[in-house]
Chain A
Amino acid sequence: MADILDLSVLEAHEAKIAGDLSPREHVDAWFEAAGNDELNAYLWRNDRGAEAAAIEPKEDWNAPIAVKDIFTTEGVPTTAASRILEGYRPPYSSTAVQKLLEAGLPILGKTNMDEFAMGSSNENSAYGPVLNPWDRTRVPGGSSGGSAAAVAGGLAPWAIGTDTGGSIRQPAAFCGIVGLKPTYGSISRYGMIAFASSLDQCGPLTRTVSDAAMLLAMLQGRDPLDSTSVGIEGGVSLPDRENLAGLRFGVPAELARDAVDAGVREVFERTLEKIEALGGEVVEVSLPNAEHGISAYYVIAPAEASSNLARYDGVRYGMRAGGDGDLIEMYETTRSEGFGAEVKRRIMLGTYALSSGYYEAYYGQAQKVRTRIAEDFSGAFSAVDFVVTPTAPSVAFKLGEKTDDPLAMYLNDFFTVPMSLAGIPAISIPAGLAEPEGGGPQLPVGFQIAAPAFAEQKLLDAAFALEQGIGFDARPTAGGGADA
């Protein structure tokens, strides 16, 4: 049998059923692997001792999992990679974590991320950046960069993350794995530390499309503790589609014109040919308002964040600083010392957009653009089954390359933000390798497929057929770089 760590979760599951692998052996191998974290992927690792007693599943027969540090987890540190929550040990677990434990998944640890999920490179963590396992001089993407790097780097068989404007799909693309953002409302947000509540959604980061389906099946569902959760009607089952016959894939004319690196474009074009070879039809669609996605998103998300992050005031949990002066001084000192630069920037942007005299011009207008973008997708889906784009305009960029230019960092979300604003599901699957602009070892390229709301099963089925057709099997080597 192949090395345990080379198996997808589904393959390991099948090996367990066949009696070739013991569940204990599988769990132990992954806990040992997680201990060799040279990527700064984990902020807290589970030693399965007294500290982690509150999150021990009753039965631990299932594949262990890495959890983004944005999910409250009873009794163990949960910081959202922020100083302001340093030392915080929540008194309860999020519904997502609760569901994993009920399904018998031990938690390997809590993964690093951009502070409060604000970022596209993981460089905004208060605890240092995560390194991309393919090239340690490059970012893993963000904000779920720790989860993506852990899965790609052999530190976890699968992971959960959150996606507000691309935070699952873009790191999955940069790390050469599968990342699924489900329809808004598929999975409960209870206990998921809030960034932008009308956009935030939990989802899986996995090696394969089948593993993503298994994890989604476990996590999805209506939760009385989240009034916006509805679940996926009929549930989710393992994908088994063999071809794409009868399916139409739309390429947005407007998005295709925009700046995409040559290597990414080449892999994208090759994937469109693969779709046709599998019997699918590729046509052009029009999303005339999608180009305004970034503008609308960077009003709506910071506006909601400025409101959500008002709760960090040094009173009920987390750090407090400046307790010697009056109350306002304590609030200001705590927040100024506790938040990092990007979080402050977004709180400022959001507070400005919501302030008296600017509300209609920014927030009101952005909400109307959001309607237009959702209508664009509805229109497209009357003619096609899926909309496809590259997941990101480039492969993983260098650490430090965009940290001085927030707008350039934001524009990296160009292809993922429109689906978030429309609330629809989208998956990124690895489609090939490309050389970065400026040269260097080849890096993974993600292919994004978006579907109508709650059409997850159809999306997973098509992604599975395409995944089999592409046959992506490159893996990062131990020191970084591809081993194709």
Chain B
Amino acid sequence: MIERDQVLHVAKLARLRLSEEEVERMVGELSGILEHVDRIGNLDLEGDEPTSHVVALENVLRADEPWQSLPRDVALASAPEPSEGAFRVPSPQAE
């Protein structure tokens, strides 16, 4: 159903690092779930419309007026490493 290589690829896309044990478990569990889910794969739904939202709403717009926003210090208060009014992160380039 789903192979080890696919699990590793998907984990990379999802920014998850899985332990060897987690990879093994994920292969089995995801395969079992997908086998169940695959029942809908065989349904003939040609011509059926997809539903992404159940309530009929279109172009919900608010008035274009200034609205309160969080002060910078409040927005930064929960950050692991605030610095000089910004969010500090490690360098994207490995050293």
Name the B residues within 8 Å of A184 (CB-CB). 54-55
* B62-95 vs A, Cβ < 8 Å mask (1 yes, 0 no): 1000000010001101111100000101111111
- B91 contacts A327, C-beta separation under 8 Å: yes
Distance (Å) between the CB of A320 and the closest chain B CB?
4
**Contact status A198-B54, CB under 8 Å:** yes
Roughly how many angstroms separate A249 CA and B54 CA in the complex, as a whole number? 23
Taking a contact as CB atoms closer than 8 A, the residue among B16, B41, B54 that contacts A361 in the complex is B41
Secondary structure class of chain A's binding surface, majority of residues: helix
* A/B interface sample: 12 pairs, CB < 8 A: A292-B39, A299-B37, A315-B89, A316-B87, A324-B90, A327-B90, A327-B92, A329-B94, A365-B41, A368-B45, A369-B40, A371-B51
Residues A320 and B26 in contact, CB atoms below 8 Å apart: no
The reply to whether A335 and B48 contact each other, CB–CB distance below 8 Å, is no
Q: Within 8 Å CB of A228, what residues of B?
A: 53, 55, 57, 60
Number of interface residues of A (CB under 8 A): 71
**What distance in Å separates the Cβ of B59 from its nearest Cβ neighbour in chain A?**
10
Of A92, A294, A336, A349, which contacts B70 at CB under 8 A?
A92
Residues of A with C-beta under 8 A to B5: none
Residue A472, interface by CB 8 Å: no
B29 within 8 A of A: yes
The answer for the CA separation of A112 and B45 in the assembled complex, in Å, is 40
Report the Cα distance A92→B75, complex, angstroms.
10
Distance between A97 CB and nearest chain B CB, rounded to angstroms: 17
Does A296 lie within 8 Å of B18, measured CB to CB? no
State which size class the interface on B falls in: 35 or more
Chain B interface, DSSP helix/strand/loop, else mixed: loop
Residues from chain B with a CB closer than 8 A to the CB of A362 are 37, 41
For the complex, give the distance between the alpha carbons of A292 and B2 in Å: 21
Contacts of A90 in B (CB 8 A): 78
B54/A366 in contact, CB under 8 A: no
* Chain A stretch 363-418: residues in CB contact (< 8 A) with chain B: 364-372, 374, 406-407, 410
In the complex, are the beta carbons of A227 and B40 less than 8 A apart? no
B78 A348 Cβ-Cβ under 8 A:
no
Is A325 a contact partner of B90 (Cβ separation < 8 A)?
yes
Chain A contacts of B7 at CB under 8 A? 348
Closest to B46 in A: A368
Residues on the A chain within 8 Å of B22, using CB? 341, 344
- Whether a CB of chain B sits under 8 angstroms from the CB of A44 is no
Hey, which chain B residues are within 8 Å of A292, CB to CB?
39-40, 43
Q: Identify the 8 closest CB pairs spanning chains A and B, nearest first.
A: A423-B54, A367-B50, A320-B80, A317-B78, A368-B45, A227-B60, A368-B48, A326-B94
Separation of A328 and B37 alpha carbons in the complex (Å): 32
Is A82 part of the contact surface with B, judged by Cβ < 8 Å? no
**A371:B49 contact, CB within 8 angstroms:** yes
Query: In whole Å, how far is B61's beta carbon from the nearest beta carbon of chain A?
Result: 8
Q: Which residue of B lies closest to A364 (CB)?
A: B50
When chains A and B are docked, how far (Å) is the Cα of A101 from the Cα of B19? 44
Rounded to whole angstroms, the CA-CA distance of A294 and B41 in the bound complex is 13
How many Å lie between the Cα of A89 and that of B51 in the bound state?
36
Q: Cα distance A368–B44 when bound, in Å?
A: 10
Contact of A369 with B43 in the complex, beta carbons under 8 Å? yes
Q: Judging by beta carbons under 8 Å apart, are A230 and B55 in contact?
A: yes
